[in-house]
């Protein structure tokens, strides 16, 4: 069992929720971050094992709110040992923005929306968290996507944002190592969450599952297990790595 202070962004549901549950199960104290799902975050907190878990809120597109949220989490937890940068947006999955068929105004809006959360927002969270982590070292784990490698032709801002997150993580793995801080990344493929339920139904769901030779998609707990290990004391030498978690649905050299 461990007793670390852990901040997980975007953690009231989906992958983030599973990550929170994994850390709490191992004895850590967790700050559950949300933007506008306070009821779900509080319900999650109340059901976690152990004590000392807290809920914090911020819109990650607001730099001042990000800083206040991270500082508040560190205050409530008595410091910070682990950051899991999970929060992100696909934009509107049902309204793609391919380069042809999208107006210039719509194109600008989608890029701002996605990059401000997935890349700039994530970078701001890391900067703020690093000010606390440098006191005693720690772990940062970013949640990226298979889309950073295979491309997202209908949602290019999403693919670009995750590719940028990968590069950011590798840059900071080098920059933060002298301070005892590791930075690693997981790149999941399709994951079964409440947000993807509609996409997994019917013929579309069958096609999505068939992308993997296992003929299924990931469970959130599988992603959480990898995140939890990368944040462990044993995983220091994994700093700078990007771990593919896509069930062999996309293989890169």
Active-site positions read 158
Torsion of CA 65, 66, 69, 74, to 10 degrees: -150
Alpha helices in the chain (DSSP H): 14-25, 38-47, 63-77, 104-115, 122-133, 147-150, 156-176, 202-209, 220-230
The C-alpha atoms of residue 227 and residue 142 are separated, in whole angstroms, by: 8
């Amino acid at each position: 069992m461990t007793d670390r202070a852990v901040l997980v962004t975007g953690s009231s549901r989906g992958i983030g929720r599973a990550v929170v549950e994994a850390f709490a199960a191992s004895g850590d104290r967790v700050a559950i971050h949300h933007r506008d799902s306070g009821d779900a975050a509080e319900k999650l907190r109340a059901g976690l094992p152990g004590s000392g878990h807290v809920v914090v809120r911020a819109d990650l597109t607001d730099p001042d709110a990000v800083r206040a949220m991270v500082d508040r989490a560190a205050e409530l937890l008595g410091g910070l040992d682990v950051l899991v940068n999970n929060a992100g947006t696909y934009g509107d999955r049902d309204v793609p923005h391919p380069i042809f068929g999208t107006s210039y105004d719509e194109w600008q809006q989608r890029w701002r929306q996605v990059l401000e959360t997935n890349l700039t927002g994530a970078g701001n969270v890391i900067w703020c968290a690093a000010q606390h982590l440098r006191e005693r070292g720690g772990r940062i784990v970013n949640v990226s996507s298979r889309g950073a490698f295979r491309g997202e032709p209908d949602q290019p801002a999403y693919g670009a944002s995750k590719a940028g997150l990968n590069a950011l993580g590798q840059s900071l793995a080098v920059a933060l190592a002298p301070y005892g801080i590791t930075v690693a990344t997981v790149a999941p493929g399709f994951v079964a969450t409440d947000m993807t339920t509609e996409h997994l139904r019917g013929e579309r769901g069958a096609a999505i599952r068939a992308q993997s030779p296992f003929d299924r998609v990931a469970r959130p707990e599988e992603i959480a297990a990898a995140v939890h290990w990368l944040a462990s004391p044993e995983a220091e030498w994994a700093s700078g790595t990007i771990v593919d978690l896509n069930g062999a649905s996309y293989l890169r050299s």
